[in-house]
Amino acid sequence: MITIRRAQISDLPYMTKVYNQAIKHDIVRNAKRQVSIDHRTKWFLSHNQQTPVFMILLDNVQVGYMCIEPYVNSNNPDLSELQIFLEHIYKGMGIGYDALNLLIHEAFRIGYQTLVVRIKDNNYSAQNMLQKLNFMKLKAVPDLDGTHSSTTHLETWLLKR
């Protein structure tokens, strides 16, 4: 059974491991190199009651984490971005769907009205999951940072309450 709990500072080594795994598998949209626990500590400490971080548990075993982030370049207090990271071995088992569904309910409980998920267009499992959760694909834009081929795009998916 999938459950979630608030992340603690002691979870940072695990979260850093999972994040670096996602970088290795080219899932993280804006990171190219492995990060340190110190780097992720700054990120973790920037979260609060309105932007929580949760651990994802399968039968009380950690399998990933997820969070609610402020949406980049927006002053809209009703808008947030959801992020989810699973250990690679747990992908394709429906865990992400169940966990993200819990995070959606938590975001609406906090008071957010519009939720955004941004993914790379080569993340087909995430695309399918977002469609099943009634997210609507808004756009795909080229990743023009010079480190990826011109065929890599970022997709923005939207869910309104």
- Of the candidates 71, 90, 93, the one whose C-alpha atom is nearest the C-alpha of residue 81 is 71
Cβ pair 158, 114 in contact under 8 A: yes
- Ranges 6-20, 22-36, 43-57: which has the least confidence: 22-36
pLDDT at 145 over 70: no
Q: What is the pLDDT of residues 31-84, one digit of tens each?
A: 678 899 999 999 999 999 999 999 999 999 999 999 999 887 778 889 999 999
For each of the domains in the chain, give its residue range(s) and CATH number, in order of start: 2-160 (3.40.630.30)
Q: What is the mean pLDDT of residues 73-96?
A: 91
Place of tokens 């651990």: 55
Burial class of residue 107 in the structure, from the number of CB atoms within 10 Å of its CB (0-12 exposed, 13-18 middle, 19+ buried)? buried
- Of the candidates 76, 78, 52, 79, the one whose C-alpha atom is nearest the C-alpha of residue 66 is 52
> Pick the residue with more confidence: 37 or 153?
37
Structure tokens at 99: 């966990």
Cβ pair 112, 158 in contact under 8 A: no
pLDDT value of residue 161? 82
- The count of other CB atoms within 10 Å of the CB of residue 64 is 26
Q: What is the mean pLDDT of residues 144-158?
A: 58
Virtual CA dihedral for 72, 32, 140, 126, nearest 10 degrees? -90
Averaged pLDDT score across all residues of the chain: 88
> Pick the residue with more confidence: 64 or 122?
64
pLDDT band at 29 (very low <50, low <70, confident <90, very high): low
Burial class of residue 16 in the structure, from the number of CB atoms within 10 Å of its CB (0-12 exposed, 13-18 middle, 19+ buried)? buried
pLDDT band at 152 (very low <50, low <70, confident <90, very high): low
